[in-house]
Amino acid sequence: MFRPIWLCVLVLFVKNLTWSSPGQLENRIVNGSNASIRTFSYHVGIEYNGTYLCGGSIVTPRKIVTASHCLIERPFVNLYKVRGATSIVSTGGLIFDVEEIRQHPLFNNKTYDFDVAVLILAVNLTLGPGIRVIPTQPKGVEIPDGYTCVVTGWGAAYWGGNLTKQLQVVTVPKYNTQRCAGFHDSNVTDNMVCFGYEEGGKDACNGDSGGPLVCNGYLGGIVSWGRECALPQKPGVYTKVSNMVDFIFKD
Ligand SMILES: *[C@@H]1O[C@H](CO)[C@@H](O)[C@H](O)[C@H]1NC(C)=O
Ligand SMILES: *[C@@H]1O[C@H](CO)[C@@H](O)[C@H](O)[C@H]1NC(C)=O
Ligand SMILES: *[C@@H]1O[C@H](CO)[C@@H](O)[C@H](O)[C@H]1NC(C)=O
Ligand SMILES: *[C@@H]1O[C@H](CO)[C@@H](O)[C@H](O)[C@H]1NC(C)=O
Ligand SMILES: *[C@@H]1O[C@H](CO)[C@@H](O)[C@H](O)[C@H]1NC(C)=O
Ligand SMILES: *[C@@H]1O[C@H](CO)[C@@H](O)[C@H](O)[C@H]1NC(C)=O
Ligand SMILES: *[C@@H]1O[C@H](CO)[C@@H](O)[C@H](O)[C@H]1NC(C)=O
């Protein structure tokens, strides 16, 4: 079955933390390592009504890119906050108000096609240590199979785990799209791109949604969905940023 990456974050935080998780945590993301916001200073946390919601990326001083599915049934613009310049989830750094939320008009909440959204900030970010812009991959660029990119997030270390405190980073290779489609029950559209190892073991997970996948210094993907996390032959699925450039940079 198709399982959006944010599902358990919802369960954890909306259902009053009644959901228990198995095992002991070692690393977060799955098999990642600690990351500093000084290195990944384009990464931000998006909060809704005082609770961590999703990751995001700074693409201009005024625009944050995230996944559209993060915004489902969260219509109140004034409840969104963007937290930058911190390596620790929901703690410290700088907080920015959101003036407008834009889901992609073609976003499909069943298939997650066009899973991209933009948050327009109330003021320009002041760029500095821990806060910088990441360029997006140009329109039409396709990442070659096997090419490795880095994904960052405060998500769980395994399917059903809790959020992490310290930002995590993991390297994942581009996975062949046809092969990826063959292994997933839900459709992998032309607006999606898969990353992961044949044997699994490294992946994004619950709570990483909306966060950046960066290839050679360019934002190439947005954490979108997966079948659980890091399973063999179940690569993670990301929104293909090079197909979303017009939407992202529209005035
Ligand atoms: C990762 O960061 C956490 C929290 O900041 C810290 O407790 C842990 O020791 C760090 N792990 C490594 C391997 O540096
Ligand atoms: C925001 O959170 C408060 C409790 O902290 C809750 O009472 C309220 O219903 C929430 N509002 C929305 C729109 O989720
Ligand atoms: C999902 O999309 C359909 C069709 O656009 C819409 O009718 C429905 O209300 C949406 N569901 C949610 C939870 O946003
Ligand atoms: C915000 O930054 C943009 C460039 O990204 C600039 O054109 C605009 O004047 C700035 N606005 C303010 C209020 O500083
Ligand atoms: C996950 O978070 C809940 C609520 O804070 C806590 O009770 C539980 O022990 C945590 N689980 C792990 C494995 O850390
Ligand atoms: C996948 O796409 C096909 C063809 O467009 C469609 O018939 C099918 O319903 C889709 N499957 C899912 C799970 O969305
Ligand atoms: C982490 O990697 C190890 C070795 O590569 C693997 O055995 C383990 O299953 C991975 N952890 C998860 C949660 O997938």
199 CA distance to ligand 7 middle (Å)? 9
Cα 133 to averaged position of ligand 5 atoms, centre (Å): 34
pLDDT at 156: 87
Entry pTM: 0.89
Give the pocket of ligand 3 (CB within 6 Å): 72-73, 109
Of 90, 111, 112, nearest to 103 (Cα)?
A: 112
* Burial of 138 per CB tally in 10 Å (0-12, 13-18, 19+): exposed
Torsion sign over Cα 117, 123, 163, 134: positive
Task: Read off the pLDDT of residues 160-214 as tens digits, 9 standing for 90 and up.
Answer: 889 999 999 999 999 999 999 999 999 999 999 999 999 999 999 989 999 999 9
CA of 17 to the centre of ligand 2 (A): 15
Please list the ranges in the chain whose pLDDT falls under 50: 1-28
**Residues 55, 45 contacting (CB under 8 angstroms):** yes
d(CA 76, CA 79): 6
* Residue 150 backbone dihedrals phi, psi, to 5 degrees: -115, 135
17 CB under 6 A from ligand 5? yes
Angle, CA 17 vertex, CA 35 and CA 93 arms, to 5°? 35
Residue with tokens 């934002």: 219
Active site amino acids:
69, 115, 209
